[in-house]
Amino acid sequence: MAEKTIAGKSISVNEEGYMTDPSQWDHDVAKELAKEDGIELTDKHFEVLEFLRTVTEKGETLTIRKVGKSGIVDIKGLYGLFPGGPLKISSKVAGIPKPSSCV
């Protein structure tokens, strides 16, 4: 495990850059993580991120389909918010582990 300074905080991350302690996450950390992928977060982004965190906290499996059925954003909208790997990138920005469905 490694440490990375994000938004002025020392954050524990794994070899792929995913946070290993979701309790270290906050909106400032999310904004910095998103910048690494060229994304500027909006309120809609944060709605998705909070949904992902809630699903993960419940121990449920994350899928793109589940996000699409959330009522927050459809699948096409998720791709628009997080281009290039929507579930993989959004999970990283949300400070949660990479979903098993992501390569």
Alpha helices by DSSP H, listed for the chain, are 27-36, 43-57, 64-68, 75-81, 86-93
The CA-based dihedral angle spanning residues 68, 78, 37, 56, taken in that order and rounded to the nearest 10 degrees: -20
- Residues classed as catalytic: 102
